Structure 1
Amino acid sequence: MIKLYDYWRSSASYRVRIALGLAGESWETVIVNLLEAEQQSDAHLSRNPQGLVPVLEIDGNRFTQSLAQIEYIDETRGLGLLPPDPVGRTEVRALSYAVAMDIHPVCNLRVVKWAVEHSGNQISNEGWMQHFIGEGLAAYEEMTQGGPFSYGDRVTLADVCLMPQLYNAKRWGVELAHLPKISRIKDSLDQIPAFQNAHPNNSPH
């Protein structure tokens, strides 16, 4: 049985839930409550020394880092989340990393909390999120081909990374009306059951 150590609002966990859904897999959710600092418990640190979610137990293995987990699911379940050609793979990875390595890390709540506290509250959570998510998505808008999906005519790793960030954008009041390509992509992804089912509102918490 696949086991996912998960927190419902974690963008990284959300990505992995999408990938598992695309693979048609079922899994057991083990909630790691970030608000109660369960990720820093001895039990969780023994699973992931970084103290992060998700942790994925699959096929007798235990993996950390969501992109590594998703690529494992992709390679072992034949999802085709990366194009077959080197140029396509590179472009999809660039889009994926623009979200997972540029927007997400600076918008991690532990980072934002530190910034707010050390600014003497001159920075607000909302202001920080709106700035970095808005800036990052504006760049993504320019990078994407903007068909029905982020790259080409099928779901790729880039879409799996984008959708959780769009949830965060809505949560923090980031305006998307000026991003027509991203809006079209979201409309396409909203129709896919794996994306619907992975939504935080449909995840145990």
Structure 2
Amino acid sequence: MQLYSFFNSSTSYRVRIALALKGLDAHYHGVNLRAGEQRTSQHRELSPIGGVPVLVDDNGVSLTQSLAIIDYLDARYPHAPLLPNEPVLRARVLEAALLVACDIHPLNNVRVLGYLQRVLEVSGEEKDRWYAHWVAEGLSALEDLLQRHGTGPYCFGDTPTLADCCLVPQVANALRMGCDLDGYPRILAVYRHCLAQEAFQRAAPERQPDFIQ
């Protein structure tokens, strides 16, 4: 398998976690988002929207969008499942994962933040306020969800799921951006537990070949 990724991309980080949890190897291709490599015609042949991650498997199947990739991996490699079979638990996992993937990340990704500064000409301070606002909105809801329905050291039980694959990169980004996370004890407990596990450590940004200080 081939994985087109950027070390600091939270969506790529989700896929790297899923691969590591399943014990799967993928040849890593760094796509430098800071240098605009995602906008080249060569990369757009792989990703029409010009983003990462992109996974190309050993059958030539090429996929973009992190949740679609993880769902595909779960179907093709059912060991260490990331989506439970039990209907309510499966729905809870998807509820938490989509809260991150749909309600937080799209408002704060590189393309949106770049548009705010380059086109709308907001200041760096205003951009940071925007970022912190949407993180707080989303993580407050996620904290409430996990307090009500979460159990065990992971989001939902004793084994990691898609929800954990999404939570860890989002928290890492929020910490990197200086957001105050003291009001989210359940989220932080899950995050710290995950980081103590080898699979999550292997997927971390600083362990990737294209890591930049």
Report deviation, 1:121: 2.3
**Letter of the aligned partner of 2:105 in structure 1?**
H
1:63 matched to 2:68? The reply is no
**Letter of the aligned partner of 1:200 in structure 2?**
P
Residue 126 of structure 1: aligned partner: 128
Structure 1 stretch displaced more, 76-85 or 39-48:
76-85
Residue 72 of structure 1: aligned partner: 72
Q: CA RMSD in A?
A: 1.4
- 1:22-44, Cα deviation, whole Å (9 max, x unpaired): 11112211111111111111110
Work out the number of aligned pairs and report it. Answer: 204
CA distance in 1, matches of 2:208, 2:124: 34
TM-score between both structures, scaled by the size of structure 1:
0.94
1:171 matched to 2:172? The reply is no
SS for the counterpart of 2:45 is helix
Q: Is the 8 A contact 1:115 1:123 kept in 2?
A: no
Residue 104 of structure 2: aligned partner: 103
Residue 137 and residue 131 in structure 1: after superposition, are their counterparts in 2 closer, same or farther (change >3 A)? same
SS for the counterpart of 2:8 is coil
Residue 44 of structure 1: aligned partner: 43
Residue 31 of structure 2: aligned partner: 32
SS for the counterpart of 2:183 is coil
Q: Is the 8 A contact 1:150 1:159 kept in 2?
A: yes
Q: Is the 8 A contact 1:5 1:31 kept in 2?
A: yes
- 1:85-130, Cα deviation, whole Å (9 max, x unpaired): 1111111101000001110100012101212341542853322221
Map of 1:150-189 to 2, 5 A cutoff?
150-189=155-194
Q: Is the 8 A contact 1:141 1:179 kept in 2?
A: yes
1:149 matched to 2:154? The reply is yes
- Is there any run of 5+ residues in structure 1 with no aligned partner, and where? none
1:54 matched to 2:37? The reply is no
Give the fraction of aligned pairs with identical amino acids, expressed as a percent. Answer: 41
- Is there any run of 5+ residues in structure 2 with no aligned partner, and where? none
